[in-house]
Structure 1
Amino acid sequence: MLKQVSLISFLVFSCYMGAESQDLKHLTNELQVNVAASRVWELYRHLGISRLAAQQLQNVIHNVQVLEGDGGVGTKLKLTFAPGNSSYTERFIEIDDEKKVKVAKGLEGGCLAIGCSVQIVRLEIIEKTSDSCIIRSDIGYAVKEEFEANDPKPNIQLLAVAAQIAKRFLESSETSASL
């Protein structure tokens, strides 16, 4: 019985992700951090990286608002940007503590506002050694047929800058802790 439920869950999830991932284009950023993967994952797993980035990028991110949830799967998060007050809303659809992967589906704003039909943000913390890892940020997206000539793309720069902020924050707190 449990195997049947697991198989059914897997098939439903695969169909859902398959529908979302067909013909997705990808933008990826990777950054090495000299801190244990588990420490980086603690920051990325829930809402920590969003709040830290908002705190450090007040000229870019006006507000981070949790519309529902507590940072786990199903959490709906809205980022409002300065100065034009455009926004981006996403829902966390997967958080895998073992693989250190967090996936969010864009609901409104971002490239969805300029012609994309799908925007999937995948954050992965990849262990290299016991005290270093890679933060991999990936945006998968699909463009609506009528907008293909305009070639709309999501902007991965915010995720790249957030990774830099995480690196600086974690490496400096690691240095402070060892003194």
Structure 2
Amino acid sequence: MLKQVSLIFLVLFACYMGVHSQKLKHLTNQIEVKAPASEVWELYRHLGISRLAADQLKNVIQSIKVLKGHGGVGTVLKLTFVPGNSSYTEKFTVIDDKKRVKVARGLQGGCLAIGCSVQTVRLDIIEKSERSSIIKSDISYAVKKEFEAKDPKPNIQLLAAAAQIAKKFLESKHNA
């Protein structure tokens, strides 16, 4: 029995180390917003930015569905893209109100569907001044060995577009 438990532990540890020893690549986007970081964070911390982006990007996002949760850690979100034949599902793993950081791990679709073994989205809301902040979007990913020649990459354009929408939305509130 002890040998079986030890073997299972060893296999699980090897799998964990295999995933975490892969070199992660990063795609990053930053945009400055003339709004306090606290307001930007309120939009980003739960489902606000996802719903706003889905509403404003109807030519890209067909639907957004919460499969589990209410916007906090553990929430599982599925985005279906136009024309409806591809989707991306992610799980919120970190929501840090103090640091204004939100992390989501890809579960299905996106880069995972084209050869990536890991895809993580990190959103940082950085206070620049009392009335200005930066939305930093970062996608980290690892490519499976057998797909390295194809060099698959996640698409950061959707996160960049969502940040532009957030900027326009938040700045229009301050200019009204």
Aligned residues of 1:64 and 1:78 also touching (Cα < 8 A): yes
- Counting only pairs closer than 5 Å after superposition, residues 8-157 of structure 1 correspond to structure 2 as 19-20=19-20, 22-157=22-157
**In structure 2, do the counterparts of structure 1 residues 20 and 66 end up closer, same or farther at CA, with 3 Å as the change threshold?**
farther
Give CA-to-partner distance per residue, 1:17-65, whole Å, 9 cap, x none. Answer: 9954741000000000000000000000000000000000001000000
The Cα of 1:84 is off from its aligned counterpart by 4.0
- Per the TM alignment, residue 105 of structure 1 is displaced from its structure 2 partner at its CA by 0.1
Larger of the two Rg values belongs to structure? 2
What CA deviation, in whole Å up to 9, does each residue of 1:126-171 have, x standing for no partner? 0000000000000000000000000000000000000000000000
Q: Per-residue CA shift, 1:87-124, capped at 9, x if unaligned? A: 00000000000000000000000000000000000000
| Structure 2: tracts of 5 or more residues without a match | 1-15
State the aligned residue count: 161
Equivalent in the alignment of 1:5: none
Q: Which SS does the other structure have where 2:147 is aligned? A: helix
Letter in 2 for 1:159: L
For 1:122 and 1:101, the matched residues in 2 are separated by 7
Q: Is the 8 A contact 1:64 1:80 kept in 2?
A: yes
Query: C-alpha separation between the residues in 1 aligned to 2:60 and 2:151?
Result: 24
Contact 2:35 2:171 survives alignment (8 Å): yes
Task: Letter of the 2:133 partner, please give it.
Answer: C
RMSD across aligned C-alpha pairs, in angstroms? 1.6
1:166 alignment partner in structure 2: 166
TM-score where L is the length of structure 1: 0.87
SS in 2 for 1:167: helix
Q: Find the counterpart in structure 2 of residue 10 from structure 1.
A: none
1:175 Cα shift?
1.2
One-letter amino acid of the counterpart of residue 174, structure 1: H
Distance in 2 of aligned mates of 1:85 and 1:129: 42
Residues 62, 84 of structure 2: 8 Å contact kept: no
The alpha-carbon deviation at position 85 of structure 1 amounts to 2.6
| In structure 1, C-alpha distance between the alignment counterparts of 2:17 and 2:47, rounded to whole Å | 23
